Structure 1
Amino acid sequence: MTYEGVLKKMQTELGDPIQYYMVFDESFINVNQLLDKNVEINLLGYQCLNCGKKKKIFRQGFCYDCFYSSASVGDWIIRPELSKAHLGIADRDLAYEEKAQLQPHIVYLALSSEVKVGVTRKTQMPTRWIDQGANEAIAIVEVPNRYLAGITEVALKSHYADKTNWRKMLTNSVEHVDLIAERLKLENLIPTEVKEYFFLQKNDLYQMKYPVIEYPKKVTSLSLDKTPQFKGKLKGIKGQYLIFDDGIVFNVRSSEGYVVRINI
Protein backbone atom coordinates (compact mmCIF):
# COMPACT_ATOMS: atom_id res chain seq x y z
CA MET A 1 0.00 0.00 0.00
CA THR A 2 1.07 3.58 -0.67
CA TYR A 3 0.41 6.67 1.45
CA GLU A 4 1.33 10.22 0.50
CA GLY A 5 1.18 13.54 2.32
CA VAL A 6 2.79 16.11 4.57
CA LEU A 7 4.45 14.72 7.68
CA LYS A 8 3.22 15.95 11.04
CA LYS A 9 4.02 14.60 14.46
CA MET A 10 2.38 11.26 15.06
CA GLN A 11 -0.88 11.29 16.96
CA THR A 12 -0.88 8.98 19.97
CA GLU A 13 -3.31 7.15 22.20
CA LEU A 14 -2.36 5.91 25.66
CA GLY A 15 -2.71 2.14 25.81
CA ASP A 16 -0.83 -1.10 26.41
CA PRO A 17 1.08 -0.48 24.26
CA ILE A 18 0.70 3.14 23.09
CA GLN A 19 -0.99 3.44 19.69
CA TYR A 20 0.62 5.63 17.02
CA TYR A 21 -1.00 7.21 13.96
CA MET A 22 0.36 9.10 10.97
CA VAL A 23 -2.45 11.35 9.73
CA PHE A 24 -2.50 12.77 6.19
CA ASP A 25 -5.17 14.82 4.40
CA GLU A 26 -6.62 11.82 2.58
CA SER A 27 -5.62 8.87 4.75
CA PHE A 28 -3.99 7.70 7.97
CA ILE A 29 -1.75 4.87 9.12
CA ASN A 30 -1.91 2.96 12.38
CA VAL A 31 1.87 2.71 12.63
CA ASN A 32 1.73 -0.15 15.18
CA GLN A 33 0.44 -2.39 12.39
CA LEU A 34 3.67 -1.84 10.45
CA LEU A 35 5.87 -3.47 13.09
CA ASP A 36 8.21 -6.11 11.65
CA LYS A 37 7.30 -5.02 8.11
CA ASN A 38 9.41 -3.32 5.46
CA VAL A 39 8.64 0.39 5.17
CA GLU A 40 9.89 2.64 2.37
CA ILE A 41 9.98 6.42 2.85
CA ASN A 42 10.52 8.74 -0.13
CA LEU A 43 11.01 12.50 0.14
CA LEU A 44 8.92 14.35 -2.47
CA GLY A 45 9.31 17.95 -1.32
CA TYR A 46 8.34 20.40 1.41
CA GLN A 47 5.23 22.28 2.52
CA CYS A 48 5.20 24.83 5.35
CA LEU A 49 2.67 23.88 8.03
CA ASN A 50 1.81 27.54 8.55
CA CYS A 51 1.52 29.22 5.15
CA GLY A 52 1.13 26.03 3.08
CA LYS A 53 3.69 27.14 0.52
CA LYS A 54 6.08 24.61 -0.99
CA LYS A 55 9.12 26.17 0.66
CA LYS A 56 12.11 24.55 2.33
CA ILE A 57 11.41 23.80 5.98
CA PHE A 58 13.49 25.85 8.40
CA ARG A 59 12.39 24.61 11.85
CA GLN A 60 9.41 22.92 13.49
CA GLY A 61 7.63 22.40 10.19
CA PHE A 62 7.74 26.11 9.31
CA CYS A 63 9.53 27.94 6.50
CA TYR A 64 12.02 30.65 7.47
CA ASP A 65 9.56 33.54 7.18
CA CYS A 66 6.82 31.86 9.18
CA PHE A 67 9.20 30.69 11.88
CA TYR A 68 10.16 34.28 12.62
CA SER A 69 6.65 35.74 12.34
CA SER A 70 4.11 33.21 13.62
CA ALA A 71 2.87 33.58 17.19
CA SER A 72 2.85 29.80 17.61
CA VAL A 73 6.66 29.59 17.63
CA GLY A 74 7.57 32.51 19.89
CA ASP A 75 10.49 32.25 22.30
CA TRP A 76 8.08 31.58 25.19
CA ILE A 77 7.34 28.15 23.71
CA ILE A 78 10.86 26.89 24.44
CA ARG A 79 11.43 29.20 27.41
CA PRO A 80 8.12 29.48 29.27
CA GLU A 81 9.65 31.83 31.86
CA LEU A 82 9.58 34.48 29.09
CA SER A 83 5.77 34.38 28.98
CA LYS A 84 4.19 37.81 29.42
CA ALA A 85 0.53 37.34 28.57
CA HIS A 86 -0.36 37.41 32.29
CA LEU A 87 0.96 40.99 32.26
CA GLY A 88 -1.01 41.90 29.13
CA ILE A 89 2.22 42.25 27.15
CA ALA A 90 2.40 40.83 23.62
CA ASP A 91 5.30 38.95 22.11
CA ARG A 92 3.86 38.54 18.59
CA ASP A 93 0.08 38.24 19.01
CA LEU A 94 -1.44 38.91 22.43
CA ALA A 95 -4.80 37.25 21.70
CA TYR A 96 -3.07 34.02 20.66
CA GLU A 97 -0.62 34.19 23.56
CA GLU A 98 -3.35 34.79 26.14
CA LYS A 99 -5.21 31.72 24.90
CA ALA A 100 -2.08 29.56 25.01
CA GLN A 101 -0.39 30.92 28.13
CA LEU A 102 -3.31 31.73 30.45
CA GLN A 103 -4.45 28.18 31.05
CA PRO A 104 -3.42 25.45 33.52
CA HIS A 105 0.15 24.25 33.07
CA ILE A 106 1.97 21.32 34.63
CA VAL A 107 5.58 21.16 35.75
CA TYR A 108 6.67 17.53 35.79
CA LEU A 109 9.47 15.05 36.25
CA ALA A 110 9.88 12.48 33.48
CA LEU A 111 12.12 9.47 33.09
CA SER A 112 13.12 9.04 29.45
CA SER A 113 16.92 8.93 29.73
CA GLU A 114 17.68 10.38 33.15
CA VAL A 115 15.24 12.33 35.30
CA LYS A 116 14.29 15.55 33.52
CA VAL A 117 12.09 18.50 34.43
CA GLY A 118 9.67 20.01 31.94
CA VAL A 119 6.57 22.10 31.34
CA THR A 120 3.39 21.30 29.44
CA ARG A 121 -0.16 22.52 29.16
CA LYS A 122 -2.46 20.38 31.30
CA THR A 123 -4.41 19.42 28.18
CA GLN A 124 -1.22 17.83 26.78
CA MET A 125 -0.96 15.19 29.52
CA PRO A 126 0.10 12.47 28.81
CA THR A 127 0.75 13.30 25.14
CA ARG A 128 3.78 15.44 25.99
CA TRP A 129 5.42 12.59 27.89
CA ILE A 130 4.70 10.06 25.16
CA ASP A 131 6.23 12.41 22.56
CA GLN A 132 9.41 12.56 24.69
CA GLY A 133 9.59 8.79 25.01
CA ALA A 134 9.26 8.90 28.80
CA ASN A 135 8.86 5.54 30.52
CA GLU A 136 7.36 7.25 33.57
CA ALA A 137 6.26 10.79 34.48
CA ILE A 138 4.72 12.60 37.42
CA ALA A 139 3.36 16.11 37.96
CA ILE A 140 5.01 18.42 40.49
CA VAL A 141 2.73 21.46 40.34
CA GLU A 142 -0.32 22.62 38.44
CA VAL A 143 -0.31 26.39 37.99
CA PRO A 144 -2.76 28.80 36.27
CA ASN A 145 -0.38 30.18 33.64
CA ARG A 146 2.74 29.39 31.66
CA TYR A 147 4.92 31.99 33.39
CA LEU A 148 4.60 30.35 36.83
CA ALA A 149 5.40 26.99 35.27
CA GLY A 150 8.43 28.52 33.57
CA ILE A 151 9.98 30.01 36.71
CA THR A 152 9.43 26.68 38.49
CA GLU A 153 11.26 24.85 35.71
CA VAL A 154 14.13 27.35 35.86
CA ALA A 155 14.44 26.81 39.63
CA LEU A 156 14.73 23.05 39.13
CA LYS A 157 17.09 23.07 36.13
CA SER A 158 20.12 23.24 38.40
CA HIS A 159 19.03 19.93 39.94
CA TYR A 160 17.67 18.06 36.90
CA ALA A 161 18.25 17.89 33.15
CA ASP A 162 15.75 19.77 30.99
CA LYS A 163 16.40 17.82 27.78
CA THR A 164 16.07 14.17 26.87
CA ASN A 165 19.15 12.23 25.79
CA TRP A 166 17.51 10.76 22.70
CA ARG A 167 20.18 8.10 22.21
CA LYS A 168 19.66 6.71 25.71
CA MET A 169 15.89 6.95 25.29
CA LEU A 170 15.96 4.95 22.05
CA THR A 171 18.28 2.25 23.37
CA ASN A 172 16.16 2.13 26.55
CA SER A 173 19.25 2.83 28.66
CA VAL A 174 17.16 4.28 31.45
CA GLU A 175 18.11 4.07 35.11
CA HIS A 176 15.12 3.41 37.35
CA VAL A 177 14.27 6.25 39.71
CA ASP A 178 11.35 6.44 42.15
CA LEU A 179 9.65 9.60 40.87
CA ILE A 180 7.16 9.73 43.73
CA ALA A 181 10.02 9.78 46.23
CA GLU A 182 11.91 12.26 44.04
CA ARG A 183 8.99 14.68 44.10
CA LEU A 184 9.02 14.74 47.91
CA LYS A 185 12.47 16.37 47.78
CA LEU A 186 11.30 19.36 45.76
CA GLU A 187 9.08 21.44 48.02
CA ASN A 188 11.90 23.68 49.20
CA LEU A 189 13.35 24.07 45.70
CA ILE A 190 10.36 25.64 43.97
CA PRO A 191 9.64 29.42 43.98
CA THR A 192 7.68 30.86 46.89
CA GLU A 193 4.81 32.02 44.67
CA VAL A 194 4.33 28.46 43.42
CA LYS A 195 4.44 26.54 46.72
CA GLU A 196 0.66 26.63 47.17
CA TYR A 197 0.32 24.59 43.97
CA PHE A 198 2.76 21.85 44.99
CA PHE A 199 1.49 18.25 44.69
CA LEU A 200 2.63 16.47 47.83
CA GLN A 201 0.32 13.54 48.53
CA LYS A 202 -1.23 12.89 45.13
CA ASN A 203 -0.15 9.56 43.63
CA ASP A 204 -0.43 10.23 39.92
CA LEU A 205 2.51 8.38 38.40
CA TYR A 206 2.05 7.71 34.68
CA GLN A 207 3.73 4.68 33.14
CA MET A 208 4.10 4.31 29.39
CA LYS A 209 4.64 1.11 27.41
CA TYR A 210 5.89 1.54 23.85
CA PRO A 211 5.40 -0.77 20.85
CA VAL A 212 9.00 -1.94 20.47
CA ILE A 213 9.95 -5.43 19.34
CA GLU A 214 13.65 -4.91 19.90
CA TYR A 215 15.69 -1.98 21.20
CA PRO A 216 18.93 -1.28 19.31
CA LYS A 217 22.27 -1.21 21.10
CA LYS A 218 23.37 1.78 19.02
CA VAL A 219 21.38 4.29 16.97
CA THR A 220 21.99 6.29 13.81
CA SER A 221 19.67 9.12 12.82
CA LEU A 222 18.02 9.14 9.38
CA SER A 223 17.84 12.50 7.57
CA LEU A 224 15.60 12.61 4.52
CA ASP A 225 17.57 15.60 3.22
CA LYS A 226 20.65 13.40 3.02
CA THR A 227 18.85 10.13 2.26
CA PRO A 228 15.67 11.00 0.30
CA GLN A 229 14.83 7.35 -0.27
CA PHE A 230 15.01 4.88 2.61
CA LYS A 231 13.78 1.34 3.20
CA GLY A 232 14.00 -0.69 6.38
CA LYS A 233 12.16 -3.08 8.66
CA LEU A 234 10.28 -1.32 11.46
CA LYS A 235 11.25 -2.67 14.88
CA GLY A 236 9.64 -0.16 17.20
CA ILE A 237 8.10 3.23 17.90
CA LYS A 238 9.09 5.37 20.86
CA GLY A 239 8.68 9.07 21.46
CA GLN A 240 8.25 10.48 17.96
CA TYR A 241 10.82 8.08 16.51
CA LEU A 242 10.50 5.13 14.19
CA ILE A 243 13.13 2.50 15.07
CA PHE A 244 14.33 0.36 12.17
CA ASP A 245 16.60 -2.65 12.00
CA ASP A 246 20.33 -1.94 12.14
CA GLY A 247 19.64 0.87 14.63
CA ILE A 248 18.43 3.42 12.07
CA VAL A 249 15.98 5.85 13.73
CA PHE A 250 13.73 8.45 12.11
CA ASN A 251 12.41 11.44 14.05
CA VAL A 252 8.99 12.12 12.57
CA ARG A 253 8.48 15.34 14.52
CA SER A 254 11.72 16.93 13.35
CA SER A 255 10.62 16.13 9.78
CA GLU A 256 7.28 17.95 9.99
CA GLY A 257 6.49 19.77 6.75
CA TYR A 258 8.29 17.19 4.62
CA VAL A 259 6.11 15.77 1.81
CA VAL A 260 6.63 12.02 1.65
CA ARG A 261 5.43 8.87 -0.05
CA ILE A 262 5.36 5.81 2.19
CA ASN A 263 5.21 2.34 0.67
CA ILE A 264 4.35 -0.68 2.79
Structure 2
Amino acid sequence: MQYQGVLRKMQTELADPIQYYLIFDSDFLNLNQVLNKELTISFLKYQCLNCGEDRPIFRQGFCRTCFYEIPTAGDWIMRPELSTAHLDKEDRDLEYEKKVQLQPHIVYLANSSNIKVGVTRKSQVPTRWIDQGAHEAIEIVEVPNRYLAGITEVALKEHIGDKTNWRKMLTNDVDDEDLVEYRNKLKKYIPEEAAVYYIESNTETHLEFPVLQYPKKVKSLNLDKTPTYTGVLKGIKGQYLIFEDSTVFNVRGSEGYVVSLEVK
Protein backbone atom coordinates (compact mmCIF):
# COMPACT_ATOMS: atom_id res chain seq x y z
CA MET A 1 0.00 0.00 0.00
CA GLN A 2 1.32 3.42 -0.96
CA TYR A 3 0.21 6.79 0.44
CA GLN A 4 1.44 10.29 -0.24
CA GLY A 5 0.63 13.71 1.15
CA VAL A 6 1.43 16.45 3.62
CA LEU A 7 1.68 15.40 7.25
CA ARG A 8 -0.78 16.81 9.74
CA LYS A 9 -1.28 15.69 13.29
CA MET A 10 -2.87 12.27 13.55
CA GLN A 11 -6.63 12.25 14.01
CA THR A 12 -7.84 10.10 16.89
CA GLU A 13 -10.95 8.30 18.02
CA LEU A 14 -11.62 7.45 21.66
CA ALA A 15 -11.79 3.67 21.91
CA ASP A 16 -10.06 0.82 23.74
CA PRO A 17 -7.42 1.12 22.48
CA ILE A 18 -7.42 4.60 20.89
CA GLN A 19 -7.73 4.56 17.09
CA TYR A 20 -5.24 6.61 15.06
CA TYR A 21 -5.60 7.93 11.50
CA LEU A 22 -3.27 9.67 9.06
CA ILE A 23 -5.41 11.89 6.84
CA PHE A 24 -4.20 12.81 3.36
CA ASP A 25 -5.95 14.91 0.70
CA SER A 26 -7.48 11.95 -1.12
CA ASP A 27 -6.95 9.02 1.25
CA PHE A 28 -6.49 8.01 4.88
CA LEU A 29 -4.75 5.26 6.82
CA ASN A 30 -5.90 3.64 10.06
CA LEU A 31 -2.53 3.11 11.70
CA ASN A 32 -3.85 0.54 14.18
CA GLN A 33 -4.35 -1.80 11.23
CA VAL A 34 -0.68 -1.67 10.24
CA LEU A 35 0.83 -2.51 13.62
CA ASN A 36 3.53 -5.18 13.19
CA LYS A 37 3.94 -4.21 9.53
CA GLU A 38 6.93 -2.58 7.86
CA LEU A 39 6.59 1.11 7.03
CA THR A 40 8.87 3.18 4.81
CA ILE A 41 8.63 6.96 5.28
CA SER A 42 10.28 9.16 2.64
CA PHE A 43 10.49 12.95 2.82
CA LEU A 44 9.66 14.62 -0.52
CA LYS A 45 9.35 18.35 0.12
CA TYR A 46 7.85 20.99 2.41
CA GLN A 47 4.32 22.38 2.17
CA CYS A 48 3.43 25.16 4.61
CA LEU A 49 0.02 24.41 6.10
CA ASN A 50 -1.04 28.01 5.51
CA CYS A 51 0.40 29.27 2.22
CA GLY A 52 1.08 25.86 0.67
CA GLU A 53 4.51 26.92 -0.55
CA ASP A 54 7.57 24.64 -0.56
CA ARG A 55 9.38 26.57 2.17
CA PRO A 56 11.25 25.16 5.18
CA ILE A 57 8.88 24.58 8.08
CA PHE A 58 9.58 26.91 11.00
CA ARG A 59 7.05 25.92 13.68
CA GLN A 60 3.64 24.24 13.97
CA GLY A 61 3.64 23.25 10.28
CA PHE A 62 4.08 26.84 9.06
CA CYS A 63 6.91 28.59 7.22
CA ARG A 64 8.60 31.44 9.08
CA THR A 65 6.62 34.19 7.32
CA CYS A 66 3.24 32.62 8.01
CA PHE A 67 4.12 31.72 11.60
CA TYR A 68 4.70 35.39 12.44
CA GLU A 69 1.65 36.69 10.55
CA ILE A 70 -1.35 34.35 10.77
CA PRO A 71 -3.82 34.40 13.68
CA THR A 72 -3.61 30.63 14.22
CA ALA A 73 -0.01 31.03 15.41
CA GLY A 74 -0.40 33.97 17.80
CA ASP A 75 1.49 33.91 21.10
CA TRP A 76 -1.77 33.29 22.98
CA ILE A 77 -1.95 29.82 21.44
CA MET A 78 0.98 28.62 23.56
CA ARG A 79 0.44 31.17 26.34
CA PRO A 80 -3.32 31.42 26.90
CA GLU A 81 -2.86 34.00 29.64
CA LEU A 82 -2.01 36.46 26.82
CA SER A 83 -5.54 36.15 25.36
CA THR A 84 -7.26 39.53 24.91
CA ALA A 85 -10.45 38.83 22.93
CA HIS A 86 -12.51 39.14 26.13
CA LEU A 87 -11.33 42.77 26.22
CA ASP A 88 -12.31 43.25 22.57
CA LYS A 89 -8.60 43.75 21.87
CA GLU A 90 -7.05 42.38 18.69
CA ASP A 91 -3.76 40.52 18.44
CA ARG A 92 -3.74 39.55 14.73
CA ASP A 93 -7.38 38.94 13.79
CA LEU A 94 -10.03 39.79 16.37
CA GLU A 95 -12.82 37.84 14.66
CA TYR A 96 -10.77 34.64 14.72
CA GLU A 97 -9.52 35.30 18.24
CA LYS A 98 -13.05 35.78 19.54
CA LYS A 99 -14.13 32.55 17.88
CA VAL A 100 -11.41 30.54 19.59
CA GLN A 101 -10.83 32.37 22.86
CA LEU A 102 -14.43 33.13 23.83
CA GLN A 103 -15.59 29.56 24.30
CA PRO A 104 -15.46 27.14 27.24
CA HIS A 105 -11.96 26.07 28.23
CA ILE A 106 -10.75 23.36 30.58
CA VAL A 107 -7.79 23.47 32.94
CA TYR A 108 -6.79 19.89 33.64
CA LEU A 109 -4.26 17.55 35.19
CA ALA A 110 -2.79 14.86 32.95
CA ASN A 111 -0.35 12.07 33.70
CA SER A 112 1.79 11.05 30.75
CA SER A 113 5.34 11.07 32.16
CA ASN A 114 4.48 12.94 35.34
CA ILE A 115 1.50 14.96 36.51
CA LYS A 116 1.20 18.26 34.64
CA VAL A 117 -1.31 21.05 34.39
CA GLY A 118 -2.61 22.13 31.01
CA VAL A 119 -5.26 24.11 29.12
CA THR A 120 -7.51 23.12 26.24
CA ARG A 121 -10.81 24.09 24.70
CA LYS A 122 -13.64 21.99 26.12
CA SER A 123 -14.35 20.73 22.59
CA GLN A 124 -10.83 19.24 22.53
CA VAL A 125 -11.41 16.89 25.48
CA PRO A 126 -10.17 14.12 25.41
CA THR A 127 -8.25 14.76 22.14
CA ARG A 128 -5.73 16.99 23.89
CA TRP A 129 -4.99 14.31 26.47
CA ILE A 130 -4.55 11.67 23.79
CA ASP A 131 -2.15 13.92 21.87
CA GLN A 132 -0.03 14.28 25.00
CA GLY A 133 0.10 10.54 25.59
CA ALA A 134 -1.64 10.80 28.96
CA HIS A 135 -2.89 7.53 30.37
CA GLU A 136 -5.06 9.37 32.91
CA ALA A 137 -6.43 12.91 33.19
CA ILE A 138 -8.99 14.96 35.09
CA GLU A 139 -10.60 18.40 34.72
CA ILE A 140 -9.99 21.04 37.41
CA VAL A 141 -12.02 24.04 36.20
CA GLU A 142 -14.27 24.82 33.26
CA VAL A 143 -14.14 28.54 32.47
CA PRO A 144 -15.94 30.62 29.80
CA ASN A 145 -12.83 31.95 28.02
CA ARG A 146 -9.18 31.23 27.29
CA TYR A 147 -7.83 34.08 29.40
CA LEU A 148 -9.29 32.69 32.64
CA ALA A 149 -7.91 29.27 31.80
CA GLY A 150 -4.51 30.82 31.13
CA ILE A 151 -4.20 32.70 34.41
CA THR A 152 -5.36 29.58 36.26
CA GLU A 153 -2.65 27.51 34.58
CA VAL A 154 -0.02 30.12 35.40
CA ALA A 155 -1.06 30.06 39.07
CA LEU A 156 -1.13 26.27 39.33
CA LYS A 157 2.18 25.63 37.59
CA GLU A 158 3.86 27.35 40.52
CA HIS A 159 2.93 24.19 42.42
CA ILE A 160 2.98 21.45 39.78
CA GLY A 161 4.75 20.94 36.45
CA ASP A 162 3.43 21.98 33.03
CA LYS A 163 5.74 19.96 30.78
CA THR A 164 5.73 16.38 29.49
CA ASN A 165 8.94 14.35 29.44
CA TRP A 166 8.36 12.75 26.04
CA ARG A 167 11.07 10.14 26.52
CA LYS A 168 9.49 8.86 29.73
CA MET A 169 6.07 8.93 28.09
CA LEU A 170 7.29 6.80 25.16
CA THR A 171 9.11 4.26 27.32
CA ASN A 172 6.00 4.03 29.52
CA ASP A 173 8.05 4.97 32.58
CA VAL A 174 5.00 6.26 34.39
CA ASP A 175 3.13 5.60 37.63
CA ASP A 176 -0.58 5.71 38.30
CA GLU A 177 -1.49 8.66 40.50
CA ASP A 178 -4.59 9.79 42.37
CA LEU A 179 -5.50 12.82 40.29
CA VAL A 180 -8.58 13.59 42.39
CA GLU A 181 -6.28 14.05 45.39
CA TYR A 182 -3.94 16.30 43.40
CA ARG A 183 -6.88 18.33 42.09
CA ASN A 184 -8.21 18.87 45.60
CA LYS A 185 -4.78 19.96 46.87
CA LEU A 186 -4.48 22.53 44.09
CA LYS A 187 -7.91 24.08 44.65
CA LYS A 188 -6.60 26.73 47.05
CA TYR A 189 -4.21 28.07 44.41
CA ILE A 190 -6.88 28.80 41.78
CA PRO A 191 -7.15 32.57 41.13
CA GLU A 192 -10.19 34.28 42.59
CA GLU A 193 -11.63 35.08 39.14
CA ALA A 194 -11.72 31.37 38.27
CA ALA A 195 -12.43 29.81 41.67
CA VAL A 196 -16.21 29.74 41.08
CA TYR A 197 -15.64 27.40 38.12
CA TYR A 198 -13.88 24.69 40.14
CA ILE A 199 -15.22 21.20 39.38
CA GLU A 200 -15.92 19.43 42.67
CA SER A 201 -17.21 16.04 41.62
CA ASN A 202 -15.64 14.27 38.68
CA THR A 203 -13.43 11.24 38.14
CA GLU A 204 -10.32 10.43 36.16
CA THR A 205 -10.48 9.55 32.48
CA HIS A 206 -8.28 6.56 31.63
CA LEU A 207 -6.81 6.10 28.15
CA GLU A 208 -5.41 2.97 26.51
CA PHE A 209 -2.88 3.35 23.69
CA PRO A 210 -2.25 0.83 20.88
CA VAL A 211 1.30 -0.18 21.80
CA LEU A 212 2.57 -3.73 21.34
CA GLN A 213 6.11 -3.03 22.50
CA TYR A 214 7.56 -0.07 24.36
CA PRO A 215 11.21 0.86 23.72
CA LYS A 216 13.67 0.89 26.62
CA LYS A 217 15.50 3.87 25.14
CA VAL A 218 14.22 6.03 22.29
CA LYS A 219 15.92 7.60 19.30
CA SER A 220 14.06 10.28 17.39
CA LEU A 221 13.59 10.28 13.61
CA ASN A 222 14.33 13.65 11.98
CA LEU A 223 13.34 13.70 8.31
CA ASP A 224 15.71 16.57 7.55
CA LYS A 225 18.64 14.41 8.65
CA THR A 226 17.22 11.02 7.61
CA PRO A 227 14.95 11.57 4.58
CA THR A 228 14.07 7.87 4.24
CA TYR A 229 13.42 5.45 7.09
CA THR A 230 12.10 1.88 7.20
CA GLY A 231 10.93 0.12 10.35
CA VAL A 232 8.30 -2.19 11.83
CA LEU A 233 5.52 -0.25 13.57
CA LYS A 234 5.04 -1.44 17.15
CA GLY A 235 2.85 1.27 18.64
CA ILE A 236 1.29 4.70 18.59
CA LYS A 237 1.20 6.98 21.62
CA GLY A 238 0.59 10.69 21.87
CA GLN A 239 1.48 11.93 18.40
CA TYR A 240 4.36 9.47 18.03
CA LEU A 241 4.88 6.34 15.97
CA ILE A 242 6.99 3.75 17.82
CA PHE A 243 9.12 1.31 15.81
CA GLU A 244 10.71 -2.06 16.64
CA ASP A 245 14.27 -0.66 16.61
CA SER A 246 13.32 1.97 19.25
CA THR A 247 13.04 4.75 16.67
CA VAL A 248 10.16 7.15 17.37
CA PHE A 249 8.62 9.62 14.94
CA ASN A 250 6.75 12.73 16.05
CA VAL A 251 4.03 13.17 13.42
CA ARG A 252 2.80 16.47 14.80
CA GLY A 253 6.35 17.76 15.01
CA SER A 254 6.67 17.02 11.27
CA GLU A 255 3.51 18.82 10.12
CA GLY A 256 4.06 20.49 6.77
CA TYR A 257 6.38 17.77 5.49
CA VAL A 258 5.19 16.03 2.33
CA VAL A 259 6.00 12.32 2.52
CA SER A 260 5.39 9.06 0.77
CA LEU A 261 4.42 6.20 3.04
CA GLU A 262 4.71 2.59 1.95
CA VAL A 263 3.20 -0.25 3.97
CA LYS A 264 4.47 -3.79 3.37
TM-score category, normalised to shorter length? over 0.9
Give the Cα–Cα distance (whole angstroms) in 1 for the partners of residues 103 and 8 of structure 2.
25
Structure 1 residue runs of 4+, over 3 Å off?
none
Q: Which amino acid in structure 2 is aligned with residue 10 of structure 1?
A: M
Deviation at 1:202, TM superposition (A): 2.5
Deviation at 1:182, TM superposition (A): 1.2
Q: 1:217 maps to which residue?
A: 216
Q: CA RMSD in A?
A: 0.6
Q: Percent identity at matched positions?
A: 66
Note if contact 2:138-2:202 (Cα within 8 Å) is conserved in structure 1: no
Q: 2:4 maps to which residue?
A: 4
Q: Which amino acid in structure 2 is aligned with residue 195 of structure 1?
A: A
Q: Which amino acid in structure 2 is aligned with residue 116 of structure 1?
A: K
Deviations 1:93-116 (A, max 9, x none): 111000000000000000000000
Q: Which amino acid in structure 2 is aligned with residue 261 of structure 1?
A: S
Q: 2:205 maps to which residue?
A: 206
When normalised by structure 2's length, the TM-score is: 0.99
Q: 2:227 maps to which residue?
A: 228
Deviation at 1:17, TM superposition (A): 0.2
Q: Which amino acid in structure 1 is aligned with residue 194 of structure 2?
A: V
Q: 2:262 maps to which residue?
A: 263
Q: 1:91 maps to which residue?
A: 91
Q: 2:245 maps to which residue?
A: 246
Deviation at 1:200, TM superposition (A): 1.2
Count residues with an aligned counterpart: 263
Note if contact 1:113-1:165 (Cα within 8 Å) is conserved in structure 2: yes
Q: 1:44 maps to which residue?
A: 44
Deviations 1:188-219 (A, max 9, x none): 1100111110011223x211000000111100
Map of 1:185-200 to 2, 5 A cutoff? 185-200=185-200
Note if contact 1:74-1:92 (Cα within 8 Å) is conserved in structure 2: yes
Q: Which amino acid in structure 2 is aligned with residue 246 of structure 1?
A: D
Secondary structure of the 1:40 match is strand
Note if contact 1:183-1:200 (Cα within 8 Å) is conserved in structure 2: no
Q: 1:18 maps to which residue?
A: 18
Name structure 2 gaps, 5 residues minimum.
Answer: none
When normalised by structure 1's length, the TM-score is: 0.99
Q: 2:76 aligned with 1:76, yes or no?
A: yes
Secondary structure of the 1:149 match is helix
Q: 2:104 maps to which residue?
A: 104
Q: Which amino acid in structure 1 is aligned with residue 235 of structure 2?
A: G
Q: 2:64 maps to which residue?
A: 64
Give the Cα–Cα distance (whole angstroms) in 1 for the partners of residues 242 and 169 of structure 2.
11
